[in-house]
Amino acid sequence: MKRIIIICAVLVLMASPAFAFRPMEPADSSGEKTADATILTGSGFFKQIIVMPDGTNDVTVSIYDNTASSGTEVLPTLTFAGDGGPQASPPVWVSVDTGIRVDVTTAGTVAYVVLYRSK
């Protein structure tokens, strides 16, 4: 009986939307950005942001499930050290419904790349 329950639970999980995307698939890249940008319009998955600070100024990054710099944050606001060289957020797959919008704040310059997938 336990075996049947476990098999049924696995089948239900595999049919759920969470398994509709296979995280082992490669991510798309936004290409290098240097200012606030809408990365994706529509539903998809955010994976990671890689930030290249200018070598002096810290960078604060907010990532929204939106096409504007407001609404639901995909991750808590991140701060990257200005003198730390290229840095990345943890690689996670977060589902977004509206899009991916990145808002960067720094006293200097910054470049970044977002890894994501559309649904």
Q: What is the mean pLDDT of residues 16-35?
A: 73
Q: What is the extent of the structural domain holding 98?
A: 29-118
The pLDDT value given to residue 66: 97
Whether the pLDDT of residue 16 is over 90: the answer is no
The answer to whether residue 86 is domain-embedded is yes
Which of 15-19, 59-63, 89-93 is the least confident region? 15-19
Confidence of residue 1 (pLDDT cuts 50, 70, 90): low
The answer to whether residue 53 is domain-embedded is yes
The pLDDT value given to residue 32: 97
Question: What gap in Å lies between CA 52 and CA 35, rounded to an integer?
Answer: 12
The answer to whether residue 98 is domain-embedded is yes
The answer to whether residue 24 is domain-embedded is no
Q: What is the CATH number of the domain that holds 109?
A: 2.60.120
pTM score, whole prediction: 0.79
- Contact assessment for residue 36 and residue 69, using Cβ atoms and an 8 Å cutoff: yes
The pLDDT value given to residue 19: 46
The answer to whether residue 62 is domain-embedded is yes
Q: What is the mean pLDDT of residues 59-64?
A: 98
**16 to 9, 38, 79, 92, 116: CA distances (angstroms):** 11, 28, 34, 19, 21
The answer to whether residue 22 is domain-embedded is no
Counting the structural domains of the chain, the total is: 1
The pLDDT value given to residue 23: 53
The answer to whether residue 2 is domain-embedded is no
Question: What gap in Å lies between CA 97 and CA 45, rounded to an integer?
Answer: 9
Confidence of residue 22 (pLDDT cuts 50, 70, 90): low
Whether the pLDDT of residue 3 is over 70: the answer is no
The answer to whether residue 67 is domain-embedded is yes
